[in-house]
Chain A
Amino acid sequence: DAGVIQSPRHEVTEMGQEVTLRCKPISGHNSLFWYRQTMMRGLELLIYFNNNVPIDDSGMPEDRFSAKMPNASFSTLKIQPSEPRDSAVYFCASSQETPQYFGPGTRLLVL
């Protein structure tokens, strides 16, 4: 079975540009999570959805970040405008109850 799929795997952009990260959860999973991983802060939960509805977005850093889940098989995380401090690895994870299964991540570098 396919695991969580994320795209792109790598993204290099310039400060001020819009960045869109994409995620396809495991089929049948009803929860989806967006995490950010940095050396300094480790894994941080940004937002999670249950049945396509955002449940907790308290981890979203600021208004520049937004996430959507228009259907059960697709989610996006958008950063607009991007800043160098947004450089990190962004993971999507999905679950049907516990545990969560992670995608391979998107490595974002904002110059």
Chain B
Amino acid sequence: GQQLNQSPQSMFIQEGEDVSMNCTSSSIFNTWLWYKQEPGEGPVLLIALYKAGELTSNGRLTAQFGITRKDSFLNISASIPSDVGIYFCAGLKTGGSQGNLIFGKGTKLSVKP
């Protein structure tokens, strides 16, 4: 079946550091989504990307739709303790229905004050 390879699986960083994570696939996607999930809550949409090469920011977060359409990256600048959570990427294949949204397994971020 379809898979998204999300890495790293977990990160332990110091407050103030920048963070990078990515998702890759062997398939081509026409939409990439990035979500954040905090303990006891549902995933919250951070950034949506719809075009190859697109670079979109949301505060300290920046995400890019890879030019090959097979990958996406999320960067967090100057991390703070409230950035703690699990970050999920999700991709939708070209021609796929919304039910075919494929999720990565998540990157668990821990920030040390």
* Cβ–Cβ < 8 Å partners of B13 in chain A: none
Compute how far the CA of A43 lies from the CA of B103 in the bound complex, rounded to whole angstroms: 7
Q: Which of A61-69, A70-78, A79-87, A95-103 is the interface stretch? A: A95-103
Which of B35, B43, B97 gathers the greatest number of chain A CB atoms within 10 Å? B43
* Min distance, Cβ B28 to any Cβ of chain A, angstroms: 16
Compute how far the CA of A56 lies from the CA of B33 in the bound complex, rounded to whole angstroms: 21
Main DSSP-derived SS at the A contact region: strand
* Min distance, Cβ B72 to any Cβ of chain A, angstroms: 13
* Min distance, Cβ A6 to any Cβ of chain B, angstroms: 8
* Min distance, Cβ A83 to any Cβ of chain B, angstroms: 24
A99 near B42 (CB under 8 angstroms)? no
A45 near B45 (CB under 8 angstroms)? no
* Cβ–Cβ < 8 Å partners of B31 in chain A: 98-99
Which of B33, B92, B97, B98 gathers the greatest number of chain A CB atoms within 10 Å? B98
B99 near A48 (CB under 8 angstroms)? yes
* Min distance, Cβ A26 to any Cβ of chain B, angstroms: 12
Size category, A interface: 20 to 34
Compute how far the CA of A56 lies from the CA of B100 in the bound complex, rounded to whole angstroms: 10
B51 at the interface (CB under 8 A from A): no
Compute how far the CA of A31 lies from the CA of B97 in the bound complex, rounded to whole angstroms: 11
Given A98-B31, A98-B33, A99-B33, A55-B48 contact (CB < 8 Å) = no
Interface residues of A (CB under 8 A from B): 4, 31, 33, 42-43, 45, 48, 50, 55-56, 91, 93, 95, 97-105, 107
Q: Which of these, B35, B44, B48, contacts A98 with CB under 8 Å?
A: B48
* Cβ–Cβ < 8 Å partners of A105 in chain B: 41-42
B88 at the interface (CB under 8 A from A): yes
Compute how far the CA of A98 lies from the CA of B45 in the bound complex, rounded to whole angstroms: 11
Compute how far the CA of A101 lies from the CA of B40 in the bound complex, rounded to whole angstroms: 16
Compute how far the CA of A32 lies from the CA of B48 in the bound complex, rounded to whole angstroms: 19
Q: Which of these, A48, A97, A101, A103, contacts B45 with CB under 8 Å?
A: A101
Nearest 8 pairs between A and B by C-beta? Answer: A102-B42, A48-B99, A56-B99, A43-B103, A102-B43, A99-B48, A105-B42, A104-B42
